């Protein structure tokens, strides 16, 4: 193959079903339920927790199982359009265990000069990059954790995915959209307190989030229909984060979801 320079600019991918998305939050907020609504989703089940949902799932409790599932999806000949990794935290754990067993070590740090860390990160990067390059949507689910960030002027707490740093760095560089699922208490006129489930989509000092597409408002309900409506409403000529879709997505609006019991 002869390499040539491009003569035309690439066009942005605006198909929601082709996006690579990271969704993370505290437990029991409805991450798996949200992901199950994506078109023809198949779950790589890396930890128990899908028993309350009717989904297509492949048990992937070792890295060999995970690789086998990846191979089956890559071969095609199936109806699935979205791959959901639930959770990415456990998937990375299996990756680390696999590499350590392959090199007859108990822990990544047992290999000198950081070689073990590099081998695990390279394997993780290799497989996730391959998955993201397939003609399907990819949704990675993770838990949330608070981390103390120290600066020259002091320290602050930031909520971020609970993946180890080396795994999180690969994922954050790979995904198109980072959604932080948050729970916001709201006092109703009756005096009762309701918890609104929302997704935060834009970078902030106190939590990890981001939207390369620029099509989402800062905050929207943790609800698949609201997510699709906000994404598709940001058509050329509209300003992302404004208009009726953005107003509907504000916490306290009538369309904001409630915490699952």
DSSP notation for 146-174:
EEEEEETTEEEEEEEE-S-HHHHHHHHHH
**Lowest-confidence pick of 107-121, 168-182, 184-198, 237-251:** 237-251
Token pair of 119 as six digits: 């081998």
* Counted domains in the chain: 2
Residue 187: beta bridge partners? Answer: 193
Same domain, 76 and 159: yes
Q: Is residue 204 scored above 90 in pLDDT?
A: yes
Q: Which of 205, 214, 198, 83 is nearest to 153 (CA)?
A: 205
DSSP state of 12: P
- From residue 138, alpha-carbon distances to 2, 86, 206, 239 in Å are 31, 11, 26, 26
Computed over every residue of the chain, the mean pLDDT equals: 87
Specify if 49 maps to a domain.
Answer: yes
Proportion of the chain above pLDDT 90, given as a percent? 66
Specify if 100 maps to a domain.
Answer: yes
Same domain, 170 and 185: no
Same domain, 247 and 151: no
What are the pLDDT digits (tens) for 227-239?
999 999 865 544 4
CA distance 218 to 209: 10
DSSP state of 193: E
What are the pLDDT digits (tens) for 5-49?
999 998 877 778 889 999 999 998 999 999 999 999 999 999 988
Same domain, 42 and 133: yes
Specify if 61 maps to a domain.
Answer: yes
The CB-side HSE value for 31 (13 A sphere, CA atoms) comes to: 27
Q: Is residue 241 scored above 50 in pLDDT?
A: no
CA angle 99, 100, 106 (to 5 degrees): 165
Q: Which residue has the tokens 């989509």?
A: 201
Host domain of residue 190: 181-200+217-261
What are the pLDDT digits (tens) for 79-122?
999 999 999 999 999 999 999 999 998 888 777 778 888 999 99
pLDDT at 222: 96
Same domain, 149 and 191: no
Q: Which of 197, 67, 198 is nearest to 131 (CA)?
A: 67
Model pTM score = 0.84
Same domain, 78 and 167: yes
Same domain, 31 and 78: yes
Specify if 165 maps to a domain.
Answer: yes
Specify if 208 maps to a domain.
Answer: no
Same domain, 29 and 93: yes
């Amino acid at each position: 193959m002869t390499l040539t320079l491009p003569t035309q600019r690439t066009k942005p991918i605006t198909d929601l079903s082709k996006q690579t998305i990271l969704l993370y939050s505290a437990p029991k907020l409805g991450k798996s339920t949200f992901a199950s609504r994506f078109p023809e989703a198949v779950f790589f089940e890396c930890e128990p927790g899908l028993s309350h949902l009717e989904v297509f799932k492949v048990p992937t409790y070792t890295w060999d199982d995970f690789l086998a599932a990846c191979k089956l999806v890559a071969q095609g000949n199936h109806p699935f359009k979205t791959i959901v990794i639930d959770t990415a935290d456990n998937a990375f754990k299996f990756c680390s265990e696999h590499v350590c067993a392959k090199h007859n070590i108990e822990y990544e740090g047992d290999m000198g000069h950081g070689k073990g860390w590099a081998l695990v990160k390279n394997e993780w990067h290799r497989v996730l990059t391959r998955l993201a390059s397939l003609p399907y949507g990819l949704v990675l689910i993770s838990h949330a954790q608070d981390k103390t960030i120290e600066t020259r002027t002091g320290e602050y707490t930031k909520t971020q995915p609970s993946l180890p740093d080396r795994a999180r760095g690969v994922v954050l560089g790979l995904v198109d959209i980072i959604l932080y699922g948050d729970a916001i208490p709201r006092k109703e006129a009756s005096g009762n307190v309701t918890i609104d489930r929302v997704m935060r989509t834009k970078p902030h000092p106190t939590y990890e989030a981001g939207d390369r597409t620029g099509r989402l408002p800062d905050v929207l309900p943790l609800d698949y229909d609201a997510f699709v409506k906000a994404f598709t409403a940001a058509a050329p000529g509209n300003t992302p984060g404004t208009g009726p879709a953005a107003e509907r997505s504000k916490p306290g609006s009538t369309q904001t979801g409630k915490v699952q019991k």
